[in-house]
Amino acid sequence: MRVAIVAGPYVPVPPVKYGGTEQVIYYLINGLKEAGHVPILLGPGDSKVDCEIVPIVEKALFFPKTKAGLKAHKLLEQKAFRITAKKLRELLPTIDIIHSHGYDLTAFKNFPNITTLHNMIEFEHVDYYTKRKNLNFASISKNQQAAFPELNYVGVVYNGENPAEFPIITEPEDYVCFLGRFDRDKNPHLAIQLALSMGIKIKLAGKIDFKGEGYFIEEIEKYLSHPLVEYLGELDFDAKVELVSKARCNLHPTNFREPFGLTVLEAAYCGTPTLATARGSMPELIEPSRTGMLVEDFIEGRNNIEECFKMDRTYIANRARQLFNYKNMSQQYVEAYHKVIESHPRSARSRHGMRNLVEDLMLRIKSTV
């Protein structure tokens, strides 16, 4: 199966530092290739993946760090979207399905398509999704679907990475960690407050951009001079793994309906339990009292974190590796692809199949000449 994987123009695949969606796309491409399929990435030209790359921008745009940069960023984004549409139209004769990770596929509604919902659905998105009920969607948790059940969901596909790239650490160091965006959705200041209230060292890392403008200055900077607080900035993959693998516990004080929570999975691969507020997908990722604790808020969390320290880190790692990995994820997407293609109008499927058959024949003829 030939699959057009449409990424955004914002972050290269895989990401050099922060970029959960792009990390997932990278592992999906690997899983599809290992299963014998042919993914084609439409994304930033500076991506480094083992498949054909169709550039929609020469280099990743990245998001501006302040709102002042949004206007210029929007113009570059719109140009990238126009190029994406052009490149996709050119690819149609050679592919079986389009898999978008955020790009609007309305113009391609008559071609087999699927869009993964990577972000939270908010009121500002209601009209957008209401007009796109004729598209096919995959959610990354069951909870995510409850926010907008009217969409045409073709499956729940949990994110997965390659567990082999994460060490299992059974004897952690004496600190807790936070990894994620610095904004009021992620609430890292609550992680700091919990750690300090218990006299525990905390290491923090993550991205600062326009969505959290002002938050870092208002809520985080005042703690940075404390001897128990270590701010590491935005980390690359190896440094991120080093952080979460050696922590006694990963702190996840999420303040929104989080669709998945990739850092919770990454910590679990290493055997690190997570203390999280029980919102969004967290009850689907965390097995209470076995792989972490779910609490209503971090005041309650203060009374539960010691239990996290006592958990069996080998069990945590084995469970995460079995349930959430890139092979499972890619197989579930393949099943969704087949479901979409089979539900496509018979005439369109017939034309599509004939087109591929003709191309295969032409390739064979050329190879014999």
Dump pLDDT digits (tens) for 181-208: 999 999 999 999 999 999 999 999 999 9
Residue 361 has pLDDT above 50, yes or no: no
> What's the whole-number average pLDDT of the chain?
92
Task: Give the residue, 87 or 61, on which the prediction is more confident.
Answer: 87
Q: Is 170 left (phi over 0), alpha (psi -120 to 50) or beta?
A: alpha
Look at residue 368 in the predicted model and tell me its pLDDT.
40
**Cα-based distances in Å from 299 to 49, 198, 274:** 43, 11, 15
- The CATH class for the domain spanning 2-161+326-368 reads alpha beta
Look at residue 356 in the predicted model and tell me its pLDDT.
53
In the chain, where does the domain assigned CATH 3.40.50.2000 lie? Answer: 2-161+326-368, 164-323
Q: Where are the alpha helices (DSSP H) in 234-345?
A: 237-245, 262-269, 282-285, 298-302, 305-309, 313-323, 326-343
Closest of 260, 252, 254, 256 to residue 144, by C-alpha: 260
**CATH architecture under which domain 164-323 falls:** 3-Layer(aba) Sandwich (3.40)
Residue 351 has pLDDT above 50, yes or no: no
Percentage of the residues of the chain whose pLDDT score is greater than 90: 85
Please state whether the peptide bond connecting residue 227 to the residue before it is cis, i.e. omega within 30 degrees of 0: no
Residue 369 has pLDDT above 80, yes or no: no
